[in-house]
Amino acid sequence: MLTPKTIILPIDFSSRAAGVAAHARIMAKQYDATVIALHVMRPFQLAAEGVDVPSAAVLDWYTEQKPLLESQLEDFVKIYLPGCKVKTLFREGEPASEIIRVANEEKADLILISTHGYGPFRRFLLGSVAAKVLSDSHTPVLTAAHVEVPTDEAEHIRSVVVATELDARAPKLIAAGNSIAKAFGAELHIVHASPDDGAGAAHFIDPAWRVEVARMMREKLDASVKEAAATATVHVIPGEAAKVIRQVAEDVHADLVILGRHLDKSFLGRLRTHGYAIVRESPCAVLSL
C-alpha cells in the first residue's frame, strides 16, 4: 500500500517542471503529504567546464546564481504548489546523486521527476538524471513526460493501469494500484502483454494453443487480483509491452500507470528490458515501485 507522506520534487525550472509539480500537488493534497521542493545546482567545476572565459569571472557568476535560484525556487513553490505543505531545499552536486541522497535522508515515500521525452520525436528520449534516479533509487519514482499541466477541475486520478508480469510480485503490485485507485475513487485496470503477437516463431504455433495460453494467463492474473483483494478489469493482450500498455492507457483514459521495478543491480538494471520503454511511451504519468 502506498500512502506517501513525504514527497521529493526535484525542480530544474524547465518547461516540464510545472506539469510534474501538478502531480505532486495532486498526491500531496490526497494524502496530506509534505512536498520537499529540491533544486540541485551543479558544482562550480561542472558549471565552468568548457567555458572559454577566465575562471574568476565564472566563479563570480556562479556565486551570484545561488541566491537567484533560491528566490526562483520560492517563487515556483508559491505559483505551482499552493495549498500544500512544502519544505524547500537547495543543494549543490550531481543532480541524480543528490536527489537520491535527499530521498534517503528525508525517508521519502515518493520521488516525482520529469523526463526529457515529449511529443512524437522526443518520446524516445529519457533524461540522464531521470534514468539514474529510476535505476538507483529504492524509493518509488513517479515520472511524467507526455503530460500537460492539468486544470483545477482535472486534478484527480480517475483511471489507474497496473502493468504486471505473471510472477510472485503481481499481487503486491496490484494491491498498491488498488490502494491508489480506492483513495481517488478511480477505475483499476490490470494489463499483461503476452510475448506472442503472431510474428516470428508464433506464426507457426497452433492458434488454438495460443488461445489456451491466453486463457491461462488471464486466470493467473484473476488469481492475483483476488489475492490482492482488488476489483479490476484484466487485459491480456499480445504484443510489445510498451506499446500494449500505452494502448490500454489511452483506451481507458488512464491518469496513472503503475510499473514494478526489479530489485537486482545487474547490468540490465532495476527496470530491465521494458521499464524505460514503458516510461517513454506512456501517455500519462508512470509510478515505478
Whether the domain at 1-149 and the domain at 156-289 fall into the same CATH topology? yes
Which pTM value belongs to this model? 0.83
1-149: CATH number:
3.40.50.620
% of the chain surpassing 70 pLDDT:
75
In CATH terms, 156-289 corresponds, of 3.30.1330.10, 3.20.190.10, 3.40.50.620, 3.40.640.10, to 3.40.50.620
135 vs 51, higher pLDDT: 135
Distance CA 271, CA 199 (A): 25
Reading the block at residue 218, the C-alpha cell is: 488471464
Question: What is the per-residue pLDDT across 97-110, written as a single tens digit (0 to 9) for each?
Answer: 999 999 999 999 99
Residues 6+ positions from 118 with CB-CB distance below 8 Å: 16, 145, 146
3-state secondary structure 97-111: HHHHHHHHHCCCCEE
The full set of domain ranges for the chain reads 1-149, 156-289
Starting at the earlier edge strand, list the strands of the sheet with 159-163.
Answer: 85-92, 34-41, 6-10, 110-114, 141-144, 285-288, 256-259, 159-163, 187-194, 233-238
| Angle of the 272-281 helix axis to the 241-251 helix axis, nearest 10 | 40
Query: pLDDT-derived band of residue 53, with 50, 70 and 90 as boundaries?
Result: very low
